[in-house]
Structure 1
Amino acid sequence: MKKVFSFLIAALAVSTTQAQDINDAYRYSSEQLGGTARYRALSGAFGALGGDLSAMSANPAGSAVFSTGEVGATFGNSSIRNNSLYFGTLATDSKSKFDLSQIGGVLVFNNQSKEANWRKIAVGFNVENSNSFNNNVFVAGFNPNNSIDKYFLSYANGVTLDDIEVYDGENVTEVYRWLGENRGYGAQQAFLAYQAYLINPISNDPENTQYVSNASYGTVDQEYFMATTGYNYKITFNFATQYKDKLYLGANLNAHAIDFSKYTYLSEIGFASNSTIQEIGFENDLKTYGSGFSFQLGAIAKLSDELRIGATYQSPTWYNINDELIQSLFTVSEVDNGDGTFTEFTDVVEPNVINIYETYKLMTPSKITGSLAYVFGKYGLISFDYSRKNYANAEFRPTSDSYFRDQNSIISNQLKDASSYRIGGELRVDNVSLRAGYRLEESPYKNERTVGELNGYSLGIGYNFGAVSLDIAYDHAKQDSYRSLYNVGLTDAATTSSKFNNVMMSIGIKL
């Protein structure tokens, strides 16, 4: 009855074991190409140009380039296709979504005095999806090394048998919850495996802490499915000003909102004929939500009527994040009756408990951007942006927490400085604008394999009706990754080649 008694005491507590790792730090530190169709068509090379709502979010000085106020919105379809190779087997999955990805506006207040040095003030507001998490990954193959039993054993060894037993007067839900509140995530994994008869103790002593697997295998037929959804929205409040005809200065205050869900399901069959375990299914449903704050400072200088340079500082983003997790495990076992026949058992361990983890803090790295643009009068332009971000500076907090210190050490050892290069051009023929761009983003990982470099190109067209403008863009990118299915035990990795395709349309209205 000790678990029930402790449960009654700790019923209002939350789980104190963190489930955060380097993958979370990278996910919330990275950004995708987003924004208006014109911005996308130039692959985001807008740091020295301005005059675009998304350019304003990239370099806050850009809103002062607007000659009049403007409002606009962007919507379209985003898709991703993943080809995953796992122990020689190729599997494919894809996902697409239609949504509103950007909306914003800017007001311009011109100084009526012709003698004034400060020519205008601009105030802007913009909301855009800086990172979409919509994705499906399917992995399948015959693993000659490991089963998910290694994952559970890595957590179980060291956990006492007394903790993961269900005694009279207790039930699965109560014990699983009690373990999360008093022993942590690892003990919950041990409990799932023990109650599903995937592992057995080497001794029935309540103080036993060593376990063995009931699964025997040469190779295991594994299928792994991951579906993620959600977004990381950036809400920008902008202020900018123009000094004479040569200098634009601006600042942004940014609010960030995270809504992320990840569902994973691992299925295993193909165990040895003498294995007690014949089938395993492991399900995890993670939900993450959070909010953050950052700021930006930017400048654009006109060195001549044609040549412009820009510089932007993007501060770290300081997040407060919450995680919630639901798990279940089922196994199919065959027990030898001793007379040449077998009895099949199906065990489903489904606690129906939402693990609510304590709020944690994440500081993502800062970024600096230098930009150069050449404007050919009314005929067009060419623009280049260079950015640098040190992903190794991402940090979980509080740093006094031993788990977070370990994760921060992993981040600093595995991540690195990464540069990105963007170039874009625009050709204007009367009211029609033709656009194209290219971008290269270096890998943030020192091994340059876990997440590889990203290459992408973009195309676009726009038409200016006068008070209304209509822009359409297509951008394509590809990136390879090599990631383990799980962080411990079953750490075999799949190589995934991802291709991103986006078609966007923006409507702008001058005020």
Structure 2
Amino acid sequence: MKRITCLFISAFFLAGGIAYAQGEMDAYKMSRNELNGTARYLGMSGAFGALGGDISSMSTNPAGLGIYRSSEVVTTISLSSAKTNSDWNGTSVDKSKTRFNFDNIAYVGYFPTGNDEGIVGWNIGLSYNRVKDFNRSYRMNGAQAYSVADYVADLLYGTDKNDLRYGDKNYDPYFDSSISWLGILGFDAGFVDNYAGNNKEYHSAFGHEKDGEWLNYSPQNVNLLVNEKGSIGQYNISFATNISDRFFLGATVAITDLDYTLSTEYTEDFTQNSQLRLDNGLSTDGTGYAFNIGAIVRPVDFLRVGVAYNSPTWYKMTDYFHGTAGTTINNQDWNTQNTPDYQSGDYRLRTPDRWIFSIAGVGQNFLISADYELTNYKRMVLNDVDGYELRTTEDVKKDFGMSGTLKVGAEYKITPQFSVRAGTLWKTSPMKQHVKDGIPPKNEKGEFEVDAIGIVGTIPSYTVDKGTNSYSVGLGYRFTPNFYMDLACVYRVYKEDGYAFPSTYQAGISDIDKLLDEGIVVKSDPASLKTKTTQVALTLGYKF
């Protein structure tokens, strides 16, 4: 039962011409929002849903454009440093990356009507905003009981080895079969062997036979290096209006451009001068569109209340993929094996939508604001070009739920020219508890499923979100009535668990104690990851 499920999952991905597409953790990575915008917006941790008056409102609550009483051009640059610490079974490693970014440029046009009541003015906004930065590096180093070779052996259970080899010139197992790509690559590279006289059962090639029983070796040193780079850029066209200085309405149409590159280097060292190597490269290109609508109400002069709806982003995606693997067993090298250089067919990703509820108090020299965002990541969907849902969508529904983000910010004017700002942000993980615990969900029969996390392609590593906190400070100075400068510093802590590969379990178990005591087939230990990012942003603006 267990192995049949594994093969079914592989077949679902490979059928229909998509041999590689995003897994559920990849879909989340592309859908997850980050704090990004002008320095003033960053200095108050993005709590602008009810305040407005900042170009970053185009990406959240476009009604904020209606607050403007003049036209404006603005641009932002930033320097960010991301340092990731990993702790894997007591072994700690640091890895860091620093990068200079061009974050945004925007124009807001204000067109007054001359009325004191009714429609007081119209606003139009045009902007480019870098809404997400993927750039970081991290390394996991340690030891654990099971090898990725054990995972590949379990993944291949029930697959005839003759279906894994290149046969005649018209047969290619990567494209002419429903077998997992990681299984094919691992078999070709010598990760696994067959049990004697059995072409459909496999064991890790790293071990020895004793009294007729095969005993697997545990890797003595495991090293995973991950490099990520790329960004998501958003081009916005926004419209807003001011009704009697009490009601502000706005809408944004957004075109999104996604560029993501991942490279991984993975090694396991065993006794007896043996080693396993698995390297992967992935590039993802995507274009998408979305819309935002919002409203701000000012019932009294010092109070503003806002609400906004941000639609999903509907992406069209393409992947470029390559994997390489090899082994050394008892000082004998296998030939290094490669997957085909593969470009996937187009597929589609729909990110989750989100609601933003905001409140702000505005005084003569100060303001304070709070936003609360609700995002249902269970609504992520991956389809093929014909609209049929990929298996990943079912994984998403089982493993993801709601995420809440609370932003609080404040600003105080020390003089009419000089302002200070501060803010904080808390974001919860949308991943369900069984994902955080590293165990599988239960099926309709109340039995635990066999795989904790489903993967596609030949990249078995993934991370599990454990929540984000950030703290911000900022300064603003107005040189003239028209020209100003803002500066902000944001310190962000993002916690994750990192896995070298998924765990697998026996089928038919409904008791958690039995699952953990007797039901483990392959166990992957998590590494604790903590990414600390320091971002310094500078915004220059001109009002006219």
TM-score (norm 1): 0.87
1:197 to 159, 174, 190: 190
CA distance in 2, matches of 1:241, 1:218: 65
CA distance in 2, matches of 1:185, 1:48: 52
CA distance in 2, matches of 1:196, 1:204: 21
Counterpart in the other structure of 2:36:
34
Contact 1:248 1:300 in 2 (8 A): yes
Offset of residue 123 of structure 1: 0.7
Structure 2 SS opposite 1:303: strand
Counterpart in the other structure of 2:526:
493
- Size of the alignment, in residue pairs? 473
Residues 411, 194 of structure 1: alpha-carbon distance in 2 compared, 3 angstrom cutoff: closer
Contact 1:73 1:507 in 2 (8 A): yes
Alpha-carbon deviations, 1:343-370, whole Å to 9, x = none?
x322242436312222222211111111
User: Where does structure 1 lack aligned partners over 5 or more consecutive residues?
Assistant: 1-12, 335-343
Contact 1:443 1:453 in 2 (8 A): yes
Offset of residue 137 of structure 1: 1.1
Counterpart in the other structure of 2:137:
136
Counterpart in the other structure of 2:154:
154
Counterpart in the other structure of 2:314:
318
Counterpart in the other structure of 1:340:
none
1:505 to 515, 518, 538: 538
Contact 1:15 1:180 in 2 (8 A): no
Residues 147, 443 of structure 1: alpha-carbon distance in 2 compared, 3 angstrom cutoff: same
Offset of residue 41 of structure 1: 0.2
Structure 2 SS opposite 1:27: helix
Offset of residue 413 of structure 1: 2.2
CA distance in 2, matches of 1:131, 1:264: 21
CA distance in 1, matches of 2:64, 2:191: 60
Counterpart in the other structure of 2:77:
75
Residues 402, 243 of structure 1: alpha-carbon distance in 2 compared, 3 angstrom cutoff: closer
Offset of residue 91 of structure 1: 1.2
CA distance in 2, matches of 1:50, 1:402: 40
Letter paired with 2:498 = R
Counterpart in the other structure of 1:61:
63
Are residues 1:163 and 2:177 paired? no
CA distance in 2, matches of 1:355, 1:413: 29
Contact 1:14 1:181 in 2 (8 A): no
- Percent identical pairs in the alignment equals 28
Offset of residue 55 of structure 1: 2.1
Letter paired with 1:285 = G
Contact 2:150 2:203 in 1 (8 A): no
Counterpart in the other structure of 1:183:
177
Output aligned runs, 1:78-157, within 5 Å: 78-112=80-114, 114=115, 117-143=118-144, 145-157=145-157
Q: Where has structure 1 moved over 6 Å in runs of 4 or more?
A: 399-403
Counterpart in the other structure of 2:282:
286
CA distance in 2, matches of 1:120, 1:373: 22
Contact 1:156 1:189 in 2 (8 A): no
Letter paired with 1:498 = T
Residues 83, 185 of structure 1: alpha-carbon distance in 2 compared, 3 angstrom cutoff: farther
Are residues 1:375 and 2:362 paired? yes
CA distance in 2, matches of 1:499, 1:78: 10
Offset of residue 147 of structure 1: 1.0
Contact 2:348 2:385 in 1 (8 A): no
CA distance in 2, matches of 1:479, 1:384: 21
Offset of residue 184 of structure 1: 4.7
CA distance in 1, matches of 2:498, 2:389: 22
CA distance in 2, matches of 1:38, 1:431: 14
CA distance in 1, matches of 2:293, 2:409: 23
Structure 2 SS opposite 1:25: helix
Alpha-carbon deviations, 1:192-249, whole Å to 9, x = none?
23332332233688xx333232202144310011111111112211011111111110
Contact 1:125 1:236 in 2 (8 A): yes
Letter paired with 1:329 = A
Contact 1:362 1:396 in 2 (8 A): yes
Counterpart in the other structure of 1:212:
203
Contact 1:477 1:500 in 2 (8 A): yes
Counterpart in the other structure of 2:510:
none
Structure 1 SS opposite 2:184: helix
Alpha-carbon deviations, 1:148-171, whole Å to 9, x = none?
21232233333332233346x86x
Cα RMSD after superposing both structures: 2.4
Contact 1:15 1:184 in 2 (8 A): no
1:463 to 468, 477, 494: 477
Counterpart in the other structure of 1:248:
248
Contact 2:21 2:347 in 1 (8 A): no
Structure 1 SS opposite 2:226: strand
Counterpart in the other structure of 2:424:
438
CA distance in 2, matches of 1:418, 1:14: 33
Contact 1:147 1:220 in 2 (8 A): no
Residues 398, 91 of structure 1: alpha-carbon distance in 2 compared, 3 angstrom cutoff: same
Structure 1 SS opposite 2:338: coil
CA distance in 2, matches of 1:224, 1:263: 11
Structure 1 SS opposite 2:163: helix
Letter paired with 2:206 = A
CA distance in 2, matches of 1:198, 1:307: 65
Output aligned runs, 1:203-352, within 5 Å: 208-216=199-207, 217-269=217-269, 271-273=270-272, 278-334=274-330, 344-351=331-338
Structure 2 SS opposite 1:128: strand
CA distance in 1, matches of 2:335, 2:100: 37
Letter paired with 1:501 = T
Alpha-carbon deviations, 1:15-37, whole Å to 9, x = none?
53344222122112211100000
Are residues 1:395 and 2:395 paired? no
2:340 to 347, 350, 353: 353
Structure 2 SS opposite 1:146: coil
Residues 431, 506 of structure 1: alpha-carbon distance in 2 compared, 3 angstrom cutoff: same
CA distance in 1, matches of 2:388, 2:350: 17
Structure 1 SS opposite 2:59: helix
Structure 1 SS opposite 2:46: coil
CA distance in 2, matches of 1:473, 1:502: 8
CA distance in 2, matches of 1:401, 1:297: 26
CA distance in 1, matches of 2:346, 2:386: 15
User: Where does structure 2 lack aligned partners over 5 or more consecutive residues?
Assistant: 1-14, 208-216, 437-463, 504-521
CA distance in 2, matches of 1:413, 1:330: 34
Residues 426, 261 of structure 1: alpha-carbon distance in 2 compared, 3 angstrom cutoff: same
